[in-house]
Amino acid sequence: MKDKIDKLKARIWKKGFDKNPFLSPSFLNSWLYISKQMEENGGMALESFIDAIMDVKIDTEAMIKGRQVESTVLEKLGLIQNDECGVLEGDLVNPIVEALTSYGEKFCCSKNQIITQYSTNKTIDLADGTQVNLNGFVDLTWGKRAFDIKYKGFYTPSNGFEGSMQHRIYLYCLKDIGIRELEYLIITEKGEFWREFYSWREDFEGDIREICRQVIDFVKRL
């Protein structure tokens, strides 16, 4: 059990326990999801909770398909060729490509302004003086907007991304360079196309601080 706790701490305090903790949107989303499951199920053993938090699979079928969807979009936009993730045959991603193309035409944005896998890294100060490093990668930035390409087997607005930490953290990191909007472009297994749009709000900063505080306080008590 101690080894598992040490690995969890090492994941957050990557450069040593005397340094600033690192938290990513994906880690915080996993934390929120598993915490909610624990509440709904009337609790969960500590070891099972840590196992679930640390069990980040990078090669599930859905995740592989998600990376292929993103690669196919970028290839159809002429931004990459022969990506190692592979590309999809057919027109599944065409609605995403069309949405991005329409955005570029509407706001007179050239494709050479597109940045893929934009690295975000910014600190946020908690009330006790702790500085948390927020780091992640945005699928695509273009002009004044960030885009996150999503593939889901099933989607309805009720199981969308409103509660996600992704747009909160990405917009917190990007607003200083003039990007204050993020749009999720979502394609489902059946080819249904959905969009969710978020603009930066000041209360996002409080949301980020609250979840960071919860995570750090929990792990420090272990």
pLDDT of residue 84: 62
Is residue 13 scored above 70 in pLDDT? Answer: yes
Residue with the larger pLDDT of the pair 67 and 63? 67
What phi and psi values does residue 26 have, to the nearest 5 degrees?
Answer: -65, -40
Task: Name the band, by pLDDT with cuts 50, 70 and 90, for residue 88.
Answer: confident
> Cα(9)–Cα(196) distance, rounded to whole angstroms?
34
Is residue 95 scored above 80 in pLDDT? Answer: yes
Task: Name the band, by pLDDT with cuts 50, 70 and 90, for residue 121.
Answer: very high
Residue with the larger pLDDT of the pair 90 and 185? 185
Over residues 105-123, mean pLDDT: 94
Structural domains of the chain, ranges and CATH numbers in brackets: 2-221 (3.90.320)
> Cα(53)–Cα(8) distance, rounded to whole angstroms?
8
> Cα(58)–Cα(44) distance, rounded to whole angstroms?
24
Task: Name the band, by pLDDT with cuts 50, 70 and 90, for residue 138.
Answer: very high
Is residue 143 scored above 90 in pLDDT? Answer: yes
Over residues 127-153, mean pLDDT: 95
Task: Please state, rounded to an integer, the average pLDDT across all residues of the chain.
Answer: 90
CB 35 within 8 A of CB 147: no
